[in-house]
């Protein structure tokens, strides 16, 4: 199998760079660009997953109201549920940019997917996003009786991983965690050469394939985690103990600066005795989860991610490592 960069995604990135929203380097520009390119990628899906129903709601959590979108796969309320946290570097993305991600997971798993509209930086810096995602997950765990998992991509993958650790510490059992191209170690804000050297993909894939290392520095600066950014609520790989975390499925991409920290988190979970399935897609880039209409391989990878999440939600089908 070829390990070169997927040519369909390479062409997609070229056309994406020509979108009028790409020229605005402000936070608001990043938000507009995120919405525009996600709408363009959605329009390319030949057969997009269509759930039975979806509706906006507000989760009245113990910490206050948190807006959310509920995606139901069938006419009857699903027993299993997934708390989904969107990507976007903690500053961009929302339930519009990631609606099709949630639909794919709902249809692919048969579970209700609840997308959490957490607060964004820089208006709401660390730990606002984590606090909202944890509050929403605890609310769902108390309100529902069936299996509950967490899932997310990129910064949302980090939030899912950190929320899974917080749930473990609170005695809240999760069925699993799906982490797609996750941030796992923001120590040093992606600017510390010693930390960056731990993850060769940061240098090997620093530019040219969508997400850049410079972009990760910018995102982290705006999110403003304390100190060097080694707090486990933003860097789950730096947690003192990973034992007892929910079983995990972790998907990484070969042409992603975050590839190696995602792989390191999978290895660290496994070393701590946590059941883990780690899949690396060597020809894909950081944004593959939303590019099913662009690349056949990206579509296959996204389908596999949904299948892995379905397995986590069905204990009898789990594969331990």
| Active-site annotation, residues | 154, 256, 286
**Residue showing tokens 């060597």:** 282
Tokens standing for residue 254 = 């070969």
Provide the strand spans (E) within the chain: 53-61, 64-72, 81-85, 112-116, 148-153, 176-180, 248-255, 276-285
The owner of tokens 């790409």 is 22
Which residue, 228, 107, 105, 234, is CA-closest to 159? 234
Burial of 56: CB neighbours in 10 Å, binned 0-12, 13-18, 19+: exposed
Distance CA 32, CA 21 (A): 6
CA distance 203 to 197: 8
* Cα dihedral 148, 288, 205, 93 sign: negative
Rounded Cα distance, 106 and 100, in Å: 10
Handedness of CA 3, 304, 105, 315 (dihedral sign): negative
Check if the beta carbon of residue 174 is closer than 8 Å to that of residue 81. no
> 150 near 82, Cβ under 8 Å?
yes
Longest dimension (CA), the chain: 53
Contact assessment for residue 185 and residue 158, using Cβ atoms and an 8 Å cutoff? no
């Amino acid at each position: 199998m070829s390990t070169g960069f997927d040519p369909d995604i390479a062409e997609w990135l070229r056309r994406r760079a020509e979108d009028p929203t790409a020229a605005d380097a402000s936070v608001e520009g990043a938000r507009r660009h995120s919405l525009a390119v996600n709408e363009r990628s959605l329009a390319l899906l030949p057969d997009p997953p269509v759930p039975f129903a979806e509706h906006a709601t507000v989760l009245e959590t113990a910490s206050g109201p948190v807006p959310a979108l509920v995606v139901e796969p069938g006419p009857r309320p699903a027993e299993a549920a997934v708390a989904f946290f969107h990507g976007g570097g903690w500053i961009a993305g929302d339930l519009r940019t990631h609606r099709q991600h949630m639909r794919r997971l709902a249809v692919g798993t048969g579970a209700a997917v609840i997308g959490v509209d957490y607060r964004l930086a820089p208006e709401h810096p660390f730990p606002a996003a984590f606090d909202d995602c944890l509050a929403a997950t605890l609310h769902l765990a108390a309100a529902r009786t069936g299996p509950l998992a967490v899932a997310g991509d990129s910064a949302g993958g980090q939030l899912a991983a950190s929320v899974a650790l917080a749930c473990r510490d609170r005695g809240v059992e999760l069925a699993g965690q799906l982490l797609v191209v996750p941030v796992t170690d923001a120590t040093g804000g992606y600017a510390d050469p010693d930390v960056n050297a731990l993850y060769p993909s940061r240098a090997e894939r620093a530019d040219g394939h969508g997400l850049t290392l410079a972009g990760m520095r910018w995102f982290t600066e705006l999110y403003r985690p304390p100190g060097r950014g080694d707090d486990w609520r933003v860097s789950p790989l730096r947690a003192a103990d990973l034992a007892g975390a929910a079983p995990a499925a972790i998907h990484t991409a070969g042409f992603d600066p975050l590839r190696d920290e995602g792989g390191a988190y999978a290895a660290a979970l496994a070393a701590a005795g946590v059941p883990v399935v780690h899949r690396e897609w060597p020809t894909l880039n950081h944004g593959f989860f939303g590019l099913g209409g662009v690349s056949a391989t990206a579509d296959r990878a996204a389908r596999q991610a949904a299948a892995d999440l379905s397995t986590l939600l069905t204990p009898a089908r789990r594969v331990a490592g």
